[in-house]
Structure 1
Amino acid sequence: MEKYSEGLEAWLTGLKGDQKAQMLNQLIADDCVFHSPVVHTPQEGKQLTFMYLYGASQVFLKEGTFKYTRIIEQGLDAVLEFETELDGIHINGVDMIRFNDEGKIAEFKVMLRPLKAVQKIHELMMAELAAFKKPA
């Protein structure tokens, strides 16, 4: 089994557990920048990055088909290719993560294909984010 940096190991392990919110809160740097495949401007700061990554975990991991198929790590950068299926649409994507010197996520960029996958994720994420922003 491949051994990755502490930050990447925390990311991979945290996705499998039921403490995703806690893992994200600990792993995201305060000045993190998130690049979404469906939002045209970078989302800056821990709070926005948390909201998008937690929402994405709710969408992508819901049906249990999400898996990383290739992981490449070099220095502070990691590229993780993934596949999943949502509502009958096969989704192929890439998470590009840059960690800071403390092992926290400093930048997170997601790219998706094909176009109908981007459209489906946009639809599901907007619903998830709307629910996330509603007061309890």
Structure 2
Amino acid sequence: MSSVIEQWHHIVENLDANGLDKLLADDVVFHSPVVHTPQAGKHITKLYLAAAMQTLNAPGHFKYLREVIDGNNAVLEFQTEIDGITINGVDMIQWNDAGQIIDFKVMVRPLKAVNAIHAAMGRMLEAMKPKG
């Protein structure tokens, strides 16, 4: 297994958003299943991934089912549940030779799941906004 993917699993299992600081390249691009345009940069990618970890990692529900790693690319299939809706998706991760993620794409099915993620992520991102 790639050390990048081992680090990613550790971050997800421990809900360690701060671990993303080392793992994400400064110019990483994040492709959300619910946002039309790619999101570029470490700050916004960390924000989305941190919110996703909190949203999708309902106790006892989130798990990776299988993964395929080829060179500096990995596809990790996951399953979770939000509001009684089973969600199936994949994380497509690409990293550079320095071991930092440069591209992270999330794809989700079925449509009910996409809608549930959209609503839950909206709530989580709103809650994460600085109060002021």
TM range (shorter): over 0.9
Q: Deviations over 1:103-133 (max 9, x none)?
A: 1110000000000000000000011111112
Question: TM-score scaled by structure 2?
Answer: 0.96
The partner residue of 2:14 within 6, 12, 17 is: 17
CA distance in 2, matches of 1:25, 1:62: 23
Q: Which residue of 1 aligns with 2:89?
A: 93
Contact kept, 8 Å, 2:64 with 2:79, in 1: the verdict is yes
CA distance in 2, matches of 1:25, 1:114: 31
Contact kept, 8 Å, 2:58 with 2:80, in 1: the verdict is no
Contact kept, 8 Å, 1:63 with 1:86, in 2: the verdict is no
Equivalent residue runs for 1:1-136 within 5 Å: 4-18=1-15, 20-135=16-131
Q: Secondary structure at the match of 1:48?
A: helix
Question: TM-score scaled by structure 1?
Answer: 0.93
Identity across the alignment (%): 53
Contact kept, 8 Å, 1:33 with 1:45, in 2: the verdict is yes
In the alignment, structure 1 segments of 5+ residues that lack a partner are: none
Match of 1:73, as an amino acid?
A: I
CA distance in 1, matches of 2:94, 2:111: 26
Number of positions where the alignment pairs a residue of Structure 1 with one of Structure 2: 132
CA distance in 1, matches of 2:107, 2:95: 18
Match of 1:13, as an amino acid?
A: H
Q: Secondary structure at the match of 2:5?
A: helix
Contact kept, 8 Å, 1:55 with 1:129, in 2: the verdict is yes
Contact kept, 8 Å, 1:70 with 1:81, in 2: the verdict is yes
Cα RMSD of the aligned pairs, angstroms, is: 1.1
